[in-house]
Amino acid sequence: QKEVEQDPGPLSVPEGAIVSLNCTYSNSAFQYFMWYRQYSRKGPELLMYTYSSGNKEDGRFTAQVDKSSKYISLFIRDSQPSDSATYLCAMSRVIQGAQKLVFGQGTRLTINP
């Protein structure tokens, strides 16, 4: 079983819809929880990170972390065609100065105009 599980999709929704992306994890030692966006043939780009349980909002994006359930979510409001990409959840803890990221499989999202 992988440390981080993410439904690979694909997920296709109409423009303007609310998108919900989710990951579960098994390692309770993870300290940081991140969402990355990756466009085709590009490197991952950080969208948001959280340190504790709860919600964090940035514009149209909201990240939620529930450590008791080992479950994280990303919500995208008023989705736009430019949001079409692969979304990767990632988690980490600091060990001897290193912050090794453990990624989910990624969810491919398409926003249809």
Partner 1 sequence: GAGVSQTPSNKVTEKGKYVELRCDPISGHTALYWYRQSLGQGPEFLIYFQGTGAADDSGLPNDRFFAVRPEGSVSTLKIQRTERGDSAVYLCASSPRRLAGGSSYNEQFFGPGTRLTVL
Residues of this chain that interact with partner 1 (CB under 8 A) are 4, 6, 8, 31-32, 41-46, 49, 51, 88, 90, 93-106
Least distance from C-beta 103 to partner 1, angstroms?
Answer: 3
Taking the least distance from each CB to partner 1, the nearer of 17 and 102 is: 102
Q: What type of residue sits at position 59? A: G
Cβ distance to partner 1 smaller for residue 17 or 49: 49
Minimum distance from residue 57 beta carbon to partner 1 (Å): 17
**Residue of 33, 10, 21, 22 lying closest to 77 (CA atoms):** 21
Closest contact distance (angstroms) between CB of 5 and partner 1 is 11
78 and 60 Cβ atoms separated by less than 8 Å = yes
Q: Which is nearer to partner 1, 98 or 113 (CB)?
A: 98
Phi-psi category of residue 66: left, alpha or beta, with phi > 0 → left and psi -120 to 50 → alpha: beta
Beta carbon of residue 113, minimum distance to partner 1 (angstroms, whole number): 26
CA dist., res. 50 & res. 32, Å (int) = 6
How far apart (Å, rounded) are the C-alpha atoms in residues 84 and 39? Answer: 8
